Amino acid sequence: MSPAGNHRWAALPWLLIAPSLIMAIGVIGYPFYEIIRLAVSDVSRFGQIRGFNGWDNFARVASDPIFVDALVRTLVWTITVVGGTILLSIPVALVLREDFWGRGLARTIIMLPWSIALSMAAIVWLWAFNADYGMINATLRQWGILAAPLQWMARPETAFPVEVGIGIIVSIPFTVTILLGGLSSIPGDLYEAARIDGARPWQSFLYMTLPMLGPFLNIAIVLNIIHVFNSFSIIWVMTQGGPDNRTHILVTYLYELSFYLGRPGPAAVVSLVVLAIVFSATAAYMWLRERDA
Amino acid sequence: MRYGLKWLAGACTALALALPAQAETVRMTVSYYSAATGPYFEKMAADFHAANPSIDVKIEVVNWANLLQKLQTDISGGTNADLSIIGTRWLLDFVKDGIAEPLDPMMAPGFKERFIGPFLKPGQIGGKTYGLPVAASARAMFYNKAMLTKAGFPDGPKTWDDVVAAAEKIKADGGNGYGLMAKGTEVDVYFYYALWTHGGDVLDANQKAIFNSPAGVKALALYKSMLDRGLTEPAPTNYTRDELQNLFKQGRLGMMISGPFLMNQITKEAPTLDYGIIPVPVATRPATYAVTDSIVMFANSKVKPAAMKWLDFLFTPGPRIAFTKGEGFLPTTTEEAKDPAFTENARLKVFVSLLPNAQFAPTVTGWEDTAKAVTDAVQSVYLGTATPEAALNAAAAKANQSLGK
């Protein structure tokens, strides 16, 4: 094709992606515009805008100690759930990579929790942790570990770790899937060569598996951060952020603000904060991918 | 040609005549009170349609916990039904935004007079009627007769001192004395029972928080001391009202405060349980909480006359008696109150007798914020992170930020 022809068709790619571009801008832009509009307005419970009020909503949220607590707890929640998920998923993935009888079944069992809706899983766990007739207390008492039933959900000191634990369990299937994909990309003869050279299993894990799994771990960590950061169902179903607001993370606090206290304005401010944090995590993800590519 | 025109004119006339007979659809959102709620409204809608073939009523049942959120979303999107049941304490928000329609101009003569005055009043704002009381309840103390007889109070406790004394005996026998709830909705109200009966009030005449008065501190300190001495079930922050009621139905709880709907549940789920109902225990004055839910009509409804006709039908004695009996509420209209189902029910009479001293949730903006602040305060006291005085003072300051604004 001649250079002139190239020039002539330069606009064509833009033209071809224009419909999806316009749609993407609409789908992302409209809610974003609405949230900003709500954040700077005095809004009634039913979404009627009563007037512009500048930074009032921001000031109100920033001065709310529950918001600051929830922000800190969101970070704790994200770090512990994602950290725990990764730490548990690596050995699970390593085991599932091995060729053993019934591996297909084991892989299916590990993936099964994925098919259950998060809120449904949370309800089932809530029953399991019920103090009077839950299966956890019954089992622990049968084993003689507990003398009296433990009121798991009554105190934040026990309720929040329980929620973190459930967060980890439900995140494992997705993470194991990513890691299995990564593991299968490491050629088997590498391990054979290492073994012949006298590497012990822990050495080949530390110096071969882990570095080669690096990019996959990065992806698993960042995607999990984004997902866990916004994870609403577990905490809302089990404790609604209570008792005394001490299991709130940002999304549960936002929901309570908007739908229980009827203040969409400050709730919009909180969702902007959530957006900013998730956006940073996404940017980090893009940067990591760029670097690893 | 002439024939054709005539035929056309005839067809038009027929169509015009047929139009009013075409079905209008009235949509109504109702809250889930029990398994009987949906079938009741479906049956009423069918009965109403039989008598008024031109009006179709469509019922949508929504869980109480999600109702306000659903209405909020529907209204913001303009897809709300024509009628809805709401908590009467939410009404002010609806009226302020012009979402609720005043019903007085549409009412048939004598319609308003069907209602029991104090139950209709919370649905009236600025002299206009926006909400019709569909469900009403008051609260009283339920006690397990076997446990309390053994504890020396066969007729139940009269005062808070009696409650403590009885709970001590029940504890010595290894049981749970007085049930405290500190999870879910109405944690604030459970504290108000003690507050009111100690002579305190939630708000003053200027709608500012005064639940942190000495009476309030005394009331919360009483609950906290009962918890610390093991006179309640362990860990109230783990118990919603439903969960307390379950303990009571299983015969594992001596005393708790609840509404008439618990009687229906006991009849169905624990028919052998021997229990009594008495007024809320007193320290300095008798008091209880009364609450109504109301039906509102939305201002953007396109079928207001038809919707009003359906409301008129719902508030005739037949449908009312079926509803109130089925759900275990108190009658809201004078005619239904005369039915033997209510006049000859000794237990229900206790609730009715408490109404003169009943406190209703006030119509004020920021009531939900107050409920939330008080709930947090109660929970922090039970968790041992704050003293009753400090927690209530902080809650009052928080509530005052939103009250009346």
DSSP secondary structure, A12-28, as one string: HHHHHHHHHHHHHHHHH
Cα(A30)–Cα(B316) distance, integer angstroms: 48
Q: What is the rounded end-to-end Cα distance, in angstroms, of chain B?
A: 71
- Which amino acid is located at B198 in the chain? H
Q: Which residues form the domain of B61?
A: 2-136+291-359
Q: What is the rounded end-to-end Cα distance, in angstroms, of chain A?
A: 31
Claim to verify: residue B178 and residue B64 sit in the same structural domain: no
Q: Select from B237, B368, B369 the Cβ nearest to the Cβ of A243.
A: B237
- Which amino acid is located at A268 in the chain? A
Q: What is the CATH number of the domain that holds A86?
A: 1.10.3720.10
Q: Over chain A, what is the mean pLDDT?
A: 90
Q: What is the CATH number of the domain that holds B395?
A: 3.40.190.10
CB A195 within 8 A of CB A204: yes
- Residue A241 belongs to a domain: yes
Claim to verify: residue B278 and residue B367 sit in the same structural domain: yes
- Between A176 and B6, name the one with better pLDDT: A176
- Residue A1 belongs to a domain: no
Structure tokens belonging to residue B405: 């604004």
The pLDDT-based confidence of B250 (bands split at 50, 70, 90) is very high
Q: What is the pLDDT of residue B75?
A: 93
Q: Select from B97, B182, B238 the Cβ nearest to the Cβ of A44.
A: B97
Yes or no, beta carbons of B236 and A154 under 8 Å apart? yes
The predicted model gives B356-369 an average pLDDT of 88
Claim to verify: residue B64 and residue B161 sit in the same structural domain: no
Contacts with A131 from chain B: Cβ below 8 Å: 234-235, 238
Q: What is the CA radius of gyration of chain A?
A: 24
> Chain A residue closest to B71 (CA)?
A46
Yes or no, beta carbons of A155 and B237 under 8 Å apart? yes
Structure tokens belonging to residue B111: 């319609």
Yes or no, beta carbons of B97 and A151 under 8 Å apart? no
The pLDDT-based confidence of B3 (bands split at 50, 70, 90) is low
Q: What is the pLDDT of residue A6?
A: 59
Structure tokens belonging to residue B88: 């009467």
For residue A1, pLDDT over 50 is answered with no
The predicted model gives B280-293 an average pLDDT of 95
Claim to verify: residue B319 and residue B214 sit in the same structural domain: no
The pLDDT-based confidence of B9 (bands split at 50, 70, 90) is low
- Residue A51 belongs to a domain: no
Is it true that the peptide bond before B154 is cis, omega within 30 degrees of 0?
A: no
Structure tokens belonging to residue A172: 């494992």
Structure tokens belonging to residue A183: 């593991």
Q: What is the pLDDT of residue A5?
A: 52
- Residue A224 belongs to a domain: yes
Cα(B284)–Cα(B357) distance, integer angstroms: 13
Cα(B370)–Cα(B373) distance, integer angstroms: 5
Claim to verify: residue B128 and residue B275 sit in the same structural domain: no
Instruction: State the CB neighbour count (10 A cutoff) for residue A135.
Output: 12
- Between B45 and A110, name the one with better pLDDT: B45
Is it true that the peptide bond before A161 is cis, omega within 30 degrees of 0?
A: no
Q: Select from A242, A245, A261 the Cβ nearest to the Cβ of B183.
A: A242
How distant is the Cα of B334 from the closest Cα of chain A, in angstroms?
A: 34
Yes or no, beta carbons of A245 and B376 under 8 Å apart? yes
Yes or no, beta carbons of B72 and A47 under 8 Å apart? yes
Q: Which residues form the domain of A177?
A: 58-292
Claim to verify: residue B265 and residue B216 sit in the same structural domain: yes
Claim to verify: residue B376 and residue B266 sit in the same structural domain: yes
The predicted-structure confidence for A65-78, as pLDDT tens digits, reads as follows 999 999 999 999 99
Q: Select from A46, A131, A132 the Cβ nearest to the Cβ of B97.
A: A46
The predicted model gives B15-26 an average pLDDT of 64
Claim to verify: residue B231 and residue B257 sit in the same structural domain: yes
Contacts with A262 from chain B: Cβ below 8 Å: 68, 72, 93, 368
The predicted-structure confidence for B85-119, as pLDDT tens digits, reads as follows 999 999 998 999 999 999 999 999 999 999 998 89
Q: Over chain B, what is the mean pLDDT?
A: 91
In percent, how much of chain B has pLDDT > 70?
95
Q: Select from B93, B94, B383 the Cβ nearest to the Cβ of A155.
A: B383
How distant is the Cα of A218 from the closest Cα of chain B, in angstroms?
A: 38
Interface test with B, best of A41, A45, A60, A64 (most B CBs within 10 A): A45
The predicted-structure confidence for B181-222, as pLDDT tens digits, reads as follows 999 889 999 999 999 999 999 999 999 999 999 999 999 999
Total domains in the fold of chain B: 2
The pLDDT-based confidence of B378 (bands split at 50, 70, 90) is very high
Interface test with A, best of B67, B72, B252 (most A CBs within 10 A): B72
Q: Select from B75, B379, B382 the Cβ nearest to the Cβ of A46.
A: B75
- Residue A30 belongs to a domain: no
Instruction: State the CB neighbour count (10 A cutoff) for residue B124.
Output: 17
The pLDDT-based confidence of B162 (bands split at 50, 70, 90) is very high
Cα(A262)–Cα(B21) distance, integer angstroms: 41
The alpha carbon of B300 is separated from its chain's Cα centroid by a whole number of angstroms, namely 26
The predicted model gives B390-399 an average pLDDT of 96
- Residue A276 belongs to a domain: yes
Interface test with A, best of B238, B245, B380 (most A CBs within 10 A): B238
Cα(A246)–Cα(B382) distance, integer angstroms: 13
Q: Select from B72, B247, B383 the Cβ nearest to the Cβ of A46.
A: B72
Total domains in the fold of chain A: 1
Contacts with B372 from chain A: Cβ below 8 Å: 256, 260-261
- Residue A50 belongs to a domain: no
DSSP 8-state symbol, A145: S
Claim to verify: residue B75 and residue B172 sit in the same structural domain: no
Contacts with B182 from chain A: Cβ below 8 Å: 243
Contacts with A261 from chain B: Cβ below 8 Å: 368-369, 372
Claim to verify: residue B153 and residue B233 sit in the same structural domain: yes
Cα(B290)–Cα(B202) distance, integer angstroms: 14
Q: Which of B69, B50, B61 is nearest to B27 (CA)?
A: B61
Q: For chain A, list residues whose CB is within 8 angstroms of any CB belonging to chain B.
A: 44-48, 131-132, 151-156, 240, 242-246, 256, 259-262
- Please give the interface size between A and B, counted as residue pairs whose CB atoms are below 8 Å apart: 70
CB B221 within 8 A of CB B388: yes
Cα(B329)–Cα(B290) distance, integer angstroms: 11
The phi and psi torsions of A240 (rounded to 5 degrees) equal 50, 30
Q: Which of A205, A182, A210 is nearest to A195 (CA)?
A: A205
The predicted-structure confidence for B334-344, as pLDDT tens digits, reads as follows 999 899 988 88
The predicted model gives B21-34 an average pLDDT of 88
Q: Which of B276, B272, B294 is nearest to B351 (CA)?
A: B276
- Residue A23 belongs to a domain: no
Claim to verify: residue B98 and residue B245 sit in the same structural domain: no
The predicted-structure confidence for A118-140, as pLDDT tens digits, reads as follows 999 999 999 999 988 899 999 99
